[in-house]
Structure formats: C-alpha cells, structure tokens
A and B are shown apart, each in its own frame.
Chain A
Amino acid sequence: MPKITFADADGDTRTIEANVGDSVMETAVRNGIGGVVAECGGSLSCATCHVIVDEHDFASLPPMEEMEDEMLWGTAVDRTGTSRLSCQIRVTEDMDLRVTLPETQV
C-alpha cells in the first residue's frame, strides 16, 4: 500500500497508509494531520495545504501546473525549492512519499 510520511515543524512524524487516487491533502485531512488545513477542500484556491517535499522524492512527482506554482507564492510560510500544494499530489501505486509541514498554513 502507498505510504505518506508527514513530519511536522517540530520533527515529529506520522506515517499513513494512503489510497491510490486520493490526494496527499485528502490523506492528511481525513486522518487528522493538523498541519494541513485545506480550507478550499482541494480546489486549488487557498494555498493552505502547503507541504515541503523531501528532496529525493520531489523529482519523482509529476511537475506542477502554472496555477499551483502561482498559488505557492501566497503560502503563509515562504515556499522552498521543493514546496508543493498537497491537494495537487495524487497518491500512486507504490508511493512512499515524505513531506514536511510548514509551521503554519494561515
């Protein structure tokens, strides 16, 4: 089963078994990962599901669309080189993704 590991800003981690086809955001929110807010429910409108993807995993993800790239300029914590909006990352077969959550989303 695909796995997503969420590390919060303090370094505490939690690994969740995810469903193929769900987004990383949905996986986080339904399981109560507090560091993902996702006000807009995944419609790419709010930039409150910001995650910083592990550098080794980042290149393996499909590239982001322009809209996501623009939204990332408005995150509460400034974007880094491997920032993504987790609502735009689809869980795939055999995924083993590690992401870090920013200190705040709003």
Chain B
Amino acid sequence: MGENGLLIVGSSQAGVQLAVSSRALGYAGPVTLLGDENHRPYQRPALSKDFLQDKITKESLIFRSQEFWDEHRITVVKGERIEKIVTAPDGAGTAWSASGRAFPFDRLALTVGARARRLDVPGAGLDGVLYLRNADDALELKARTAGAERVVVIGGGFIGIEAAAGLHALGKRVTLLEFADRLVARAVGTETSRFLLDHHRRAGIDIRLGSAVDEIVGHDGKVRAVRAGGEEIAADIVLVGVGVIPNTELAEEMGLRCDNGIVVDHHAVASDGTTLAVGDCANLPNPVPGSCAGERVRFESVNHAIEQAKVAAHALLGRQEEYGGIPWFWSNQGDLKLQIAGLSSGYDRTVVRSPADPLKHSVLYYRGDRLIAADCVNVPLDFMAVKQALTRRVTLPPDAVADPAVPLRSLLAEAAAPHEGNLS
C-alpha cells in the first residue's frame, strides 16, 4: 500500500458511507473525502421535505461531527471540483481540481452522484426557474419562496410532488404539471399513482397530467408564467423536477465504461478493474435475488448508496462481499409517508389492501405467485412485513393478503415456517 491512500471524489451519502465503512473494516491508509460544494457533507433527502418547510435546520443535515472525522483520520475537503483524473494500471494516480490542487491517491472511488436534468424549452433560462438537487438549490428555493404566491412545479416524480406538497403546506398556490398520464410512473404502479393523485388534488394542489410544457414566459428576464397545452399558468417561481443525469464525465475521460452510469461489477469495481464507483452514478448488475442474469440497474436511493458503499469498502480491502438486503425507498409528501420495498418492475399481478382510513393505502406486487414489491402509504406495518418477507425470500399468498384486517406479519410468520428447513 502506498502513502496516498483512498481518495473518494464526491462527499455524498455514498462517499460518506464508503469512508466510514473503509475505516470500520480496518483500512489503514489515509482516507480523503472530497466534495465540490462549500458545505460539510450533508444528507439530501430532507431538502425537498422537512428542510424546505423549515421544520429542521441545516445543522441537522450534517452527517458527522468534525471530531468524528478527526478521530477516524478521514480528511474532509470542501469546495474542490475535480476536473481531471489520471490513473496508472495499478489504480494509483492523481486528481486535479479546478483550483489547481493535486490530490494523489493509491485507490480512487467515484461517488459523484447525479445532477438535475435541465428543462429544454424556450424561457428555461429565465430568472426564477429553479431546480432542487443540492443544499444551495434548497436554500435558493427557500429564499425565493418567501416572496412568491404562485408556484408551478414541472414534473410529477418524487422531488416534484414532495416539493409541491411542502410549498402547498406553506400556503402557496401550487400547480403541478406532469407530462405522463400518471404520477411517479417510473417508481410505482398505477394504483399508487391514482391514490397519490386523488390525495394531492383533494389537498388543493392543481395537478395536470399529460401536460407538455411549451414555454416559460418571462417579463424583464424574470419568470411570469408557464405555457402548456396552449394555456398560460401564472407563476412567480417555477420548480423543475424532471429527473437526474448521472455524473459520468470524469469516468468517461478516464476511459471507464459508462452506460447510464459508470458500469461496475457486483463488487462496485469499474471496468479498469480498480476504480470504485458507488451510489447514484453507478450502473450495476441487479442485486435483487431472483432477477434476470445480465440485467443492470442504476438506483437513486439512500439505501442503495449505503449498501453498495459497504460492498465497495470490502472490495477496497480485497474481499468479495454480497450486496445486502433488498432495495427500499421512501417519499414524504405532506400527510403521506410512502414506503416502497423491493422493485415492482416486471410485475404481472397486484393485490390492493384497502384499509378504511382514506389516508392509508398499500399494494403488493407479484410476478407469478412470487411477491416482489409493495408500495405502502402510511402503513409502516405492511411495509415492514413485506421488506422482511423479501429479505427472507418468502412470499405472502396473494389471496390471503387482500384482507386488510389480516396483519401481514401473521402471514409472514406462517409463510416462513415451512421453509426454514430449506433455508438452513
């Protein structure tokens, strides 16, 4: 091992976890965690949720105290944007920042995340067209929100809906425009899309589906309205949440294979055989048990960043560790807490449990007779039971789960019992 140690480019959730896990597993060399923002490493999920609504402070987003970093000999560098990286065949090399600093390393990890996809319509560059990806975006949105009455949100994915619900709770008049014919089409099934739509409309958000934005209309360089489908919707600010693009530019310049993210193997190792890539920027073999061979995925989730970082920390130490657990996601939208366990893509059957409470909803996804995922709104009991079932690789009988009076936990206990002999 050389003297330069591990350089982690990107002080993201994945970067922080990789630094922490490397130390926890006994990596002895220097660890440098480098970020391009002028903030200490922080957690992103709340930026579109509690932070937007002033329910929590910036301080509570900070991952670890400086004492923690010092104690674990992890050097945290802020405000350095890496522009060029050169590596030797053994994986060692140097990264140079825009300010001209050189960061030599024995081993490199890219935890560079993704960036907000920009809207490509006339007027997209007007003052008042905002995005929400990092802390500075959130601070600007909060500052601008204060003087705004009418907000148009473009995009009905998680970020768009979370922000719309939060801004609506702050008393803003919110219109949400979604291009597709349903909300969050990429992550949930039609039943959940419908539930979310009905709830948020009832709450008072003006949601328009199948709405293609033609132009952002301005006056004196500032946003005034959004024109969609021939109609003009007045707006003091416009928030765009139309997905993200993985940051693969550094990897591409290094000659690493990239295809919707930096292509890595089961152990988070990129195509040069040494560089690690973890989190939103990585494209990996689908880690879900039972998934098709050769199928690849790119996740945008905290859970994934943490699990893949642990795998990468093992790889750093020359060990091959299995990816743990099953993917899960959450989204807090006003009164709704949506929790998703597993991946529902490829399902051929759903079972909706319909509790009497109109604020609750859960739907289980099956491929054949096998349970593969669930969306649960305000029903943590169901979410937890499905997550455990998937982790233990047992299925919950589709006919039995339909009755909302039957706790899934009791079915889990029954389902697990006959298989215990096989699993050991």
Q: Name A residues whose Cβ lies closer than 8 Å to a Cβ of B.
A: 22, 26, 29-32, 34, 37, 39-47, 67, 70-71, 73-74, 106
Chain A contact surface mostly: loop
A-B contact pairs, 8 of them (CB 8 A): A30-B64, A46-B328, A67-B378, A70-B379, A70-B380, A73-B380, A73-B384, A74-B387
Q: How long is the Cα–Cα vector from A71 to B378 in the complex, in angstroms?
A: 11
Q: Tell me, rounded to whole Å, the shortest Cβ–Cβ distance linking A70 to chain B.
A: 4
**B-chain residues with CB within 8 Å of residue A46 when the two chains form the complex:** 303, 328, 330
The answer to whether B337 and A67 have CB atoms under 8 Å apart is yes
Q: How long is the Cα–Cα vector from A43 to B380 in the complex, in angstroms?
A: 12
**B-chain residues with CB within 8 Å of residue A30 when the two chains form the complex:** 62-65, 68
**B-chain residues with CB within 8 Å of residue A70 when the two chains form the complex:** 379-381, 384
Interface size on B, residues (CB 8 A): 36
The answer to whether B60 and A31 have CB atoms under 8 Å apart is no
The answer to whether A32 and B68 have CB atoms under 8 Å apart is yes
New A-B contacts (13) at CB < 8 Å, excluding given A45-B337, A47-B384, A71-B384? A29-B63, A32-B68, A39-B303, A41-B302, A43-B46, A43-B332, A45-B339, A71-B380, A73-B381, A73-B384, A74-B380, A74-B387, A106-B325
Q: How long is the Cα–Cα vector from A40 to B60 in the complex, in angstroms?
A: 13
Q: Is B43 an interface residue (CB 8 A)?
A: yes
**B-chain residues with CB within 8 Å of residue A41 when the two chains form the complex:** 43, 45-46, 61, 302
The answer to whether A31 and B67 have CB atoms under 8 Å apart is yes
Indicate which residue in B68, B378, B383 contacts A74 across the interface (CB closer than 8 Å). Answer: B383
Q: How long is the Cα–Cα vector from A98 to B188 in the complex, in angstroms?
A: 41
Residues of chain B in range 48-96 having any CB-CB distance to chain A below 8 Å: 49-50, 60-65, 67-68, 71-72
The answer to whether B380 and A39 have CB atoms under 8 Å apart is no
**B-chain residues with CB within 8 Å of residue A45 when the two chains form the complex:** 330, 332, 337, 339
- Summed over the interface, the residue pairs from A and B with CB atoms below 8 Å come to a total of 70
Q: Tell me, rounded to whole Å, the shortest Cβ–Cβ distance linking A56 to chain B.
A: 28
Q: Name B residues whose Cβ lies closer than 8 Å to a Cβ of A.
A: 24, 43, 45-46, 49-50, 60-65, 67-68, 71-72, 302-303, 306, 324-325, 328, 330, 332, 337, 339, 378-381, 383-385, 387-388, 409
Q: How long is the Cα–Cα vector from A37 to B303 in the complex, in angstroms?
A: 11
A68 to chain B: closest residue by CB: B380
Q: Tell me, rounded to whole Å, the shortest Cβ–Cβ distance linking B390 to chain A.
A: 12
**B-chain residues with CB within 8 Å of residue A71 when the two chains form the complex:** 380, 384
**A-chain residues with CB within 8 Å of residue B50 when the two chains form the complex:** 43
The answer to whether A22 and B60 have CB atoms under 8 Å apart is yes
**B-chain residues with CB within 8 Å of residue A47 when the two chains form the complex:** 380, 384
The answer to whether A44 and B337 have CB atoms under 8 Å apart is yes
Q: Tell me, rounded to whole Å, the shortest Cβ–Cβ distance linking B51 to chain A.
A: 11
**B-chain residues with CB within 8 Å of residue A37 when the two chains form the complex:** 306
**B-chain residues with CB within 8 Å of residue A40 when the two chains form the complex:** 45, 302, 330
The answer to whether A32 and B64 have CB atoms under 8 Å apart is yes
Q: Tell me, rounded to whole Å, the shortest Cβ–Cβ distance linking B11 to chain A.
A: 15
**B-chain residues with CB within 8 Å of residue A43 when the two chains form the complex:** 45-46, 49-50, 330, 332
Q: How long is the Cα–Cα vector from A73 to B408 in the complex, in angstroms?
A: 11
Q: How long is the Cα–Cα vector from A41 to B71 in the complex, in angstroms?
A: 22
Residue with the greatest number of chain A CB neighbours at <10 A, chosen from B65, B378, B381, B409:
B381
Q: A41-B302, A70-B380 are in contact. Are A106 and B324 (CB under 8 A)?
A: yes
Indicate which residue in B49, B61, B380, B387 contacts A67 across the interface (CB closer than 8 Å). Answer: B380
Q: How long is the Cα–Cα vector from A34 to B64 in the complex, in angstroms?
A: 12
The answer to whether B64 and A29 have CB atoms under 8 Å apart is yes
**B-chain residues with CB within 8 Å of residue A34 when the two chains form the complex:** 24
**A-chain residues with CB within 8 Å of residue B24 when the two chains form the complex:** 34
**B-chain residues with CB within 8 Å of residue A31 when the two chains form the complex:** 65, 67-68
Task: Give 10 nearest A-B pairs by CB, closest first.
Answer: A74-B384, A45-B330, A70-B380, A32-B68, A41-B43, A30-B65, A70-B381, A71-B380, A30-B64, A73-B384
Q: Tell me, rounded to whole Å, the shortest Cβ–Cβ distance linking B340 to chain A.
A: 10
**A-chain residues with CB within 8 Å of residue B385 when the two chains form the complex:** 73-74
Q: How long is the Cα–Cα vector from A31 to B385 in the complex, in angstroms?
A: 31
Q: How long is the Cα–Cα vector from A43 to B47 in the complex, in angstroms?
A: 12
Q: Tell me, rounded to whole Å, the shortest Cβ–Cβ distance linking B61 to chain A.
A: 8
Q: Tell me, rounded to whole Å, the shortest Cβ–Cβ distance linking B59 to chain A.
A: 9
The answer to whether A73 and B409 have CB atoms under 8 Å apart is yes
**B-chain residues with CB within 8 Å of residue A39 when the two chains form the complex:** 302-303, 306
Q: Tell me, rounded to whole Å, the shortest Cβ–Cβ distance linking A32 to chain B.
A: 4
**A-chain residues with CB within 8 Å of residue B49 when the two chains form the complex:** 43
**B-chain residues with CB within 8 Å of residue A44 when the two chains form the complex:** 337
Q: Tell me, rounded to whole Å, the shortest Cβ–Cβ distance linking B290 to chain A.
A: 20
Q: How long is the Cα–Cα vector from A67 to B257 in the complex, in angstroms?
A: 44
